[in-house]
């Protein structure tokens, strides 16, 4: 699992003093930088080197977050397919899981405009960063939470 600490900025806060929900996609993308480096260590975005495209992202807002303290973004791999993989994300503040989500990335050839199978060496590296999905009973979004 990768861990990144982010500090809420004043501009990240809404009129009620909460971290605005539009901030989490940016924070989770920051968390994915560690995964991106597995594919391109220097984050070279040239089409000859960069082969990732985001095709899906989702969030479950479990509890409110505030300006008062840093947020830990945890990032890990939850699933590896033929040409895609799923990245799990969690935002923790003051020892409590506040937001969870996931993103699906596809290994993609931008010149040919098509998905490609994940190379075996990349698949092996991704496997070392696998982390089981969180128990749904613990963070069931259908159950009442303290929002």
pLDDT in tens, 40-78: 989 989 988 899 999 999 999 999 999 989 999 999 999
How high is the pLDDT of residue 139?
39
Q: 3: Cβ–Cβ under 8 A, 6 or more apart, which residues? A: 72, 73, 74, 75
Task: Compute the residue count for the chain.
Answer: 147
pLDDT at 132 over 80: no
How high is the pLDDT of residue 141?
40
Min mean pLDDT across 7-16, 24-33, 61-70, 137-146 is at 137-146
Which pLDDT band holds residue 142 (cuts at 50, 70, 90)?
Answer: very low
How high is the pLDDT of residue 140?
42
Q: What is the pTM of this model?
A: 0.84
Which pLDDT band holds residue 133 (cuts at 50, 70, 90)?
Answer: low
Domains belonging to the chain, first-starting first, are 2-128 (3.10.129.10)
How high is the pLDDT of residue 63?
96
Task: Round to whole Å and give the CA distance between 53 and 10.
Answer: 31
Min mean pLDDT across 13-17, 33-37, 129-133 is at 129-133
Q: Chain-centre distance of CA 38, in angstroms?
A: 14
Residue from 77, 74, 68 nearest 17 by CA: 68
């Amino acid at each position: 699992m990768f861990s990144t600490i982010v500090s809420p900025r004043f501009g990240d806060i809404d009129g009620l003093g909460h971290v605005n929900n539009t901030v989490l996609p940016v924070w989770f993308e920051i968390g994915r930088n560690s995964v991106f480096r597995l594919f391109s260590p220097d984050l070279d975005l040239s089409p000859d080197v960069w082969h990732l495209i985001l095709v899906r992202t989702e969030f479950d807002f479990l509890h409110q977050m505030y300006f008062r303290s840093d947020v830990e973004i945890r990032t890990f791999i939850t699933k590896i397919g033929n040409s895609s993989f799923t990245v799990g994300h969690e935002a923790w503040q003051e020892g409590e899981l506040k937001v969870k989500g996931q993103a699906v990335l596809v290994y993609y050839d931008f010149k040919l405009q098509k998905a490609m199978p994940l190379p075996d060496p990349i698949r092996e590296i991704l496997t070392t960063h696998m982390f089981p999905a969180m128990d749904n009973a613990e963070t069931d979004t259908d159950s009442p939470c303290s929002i």
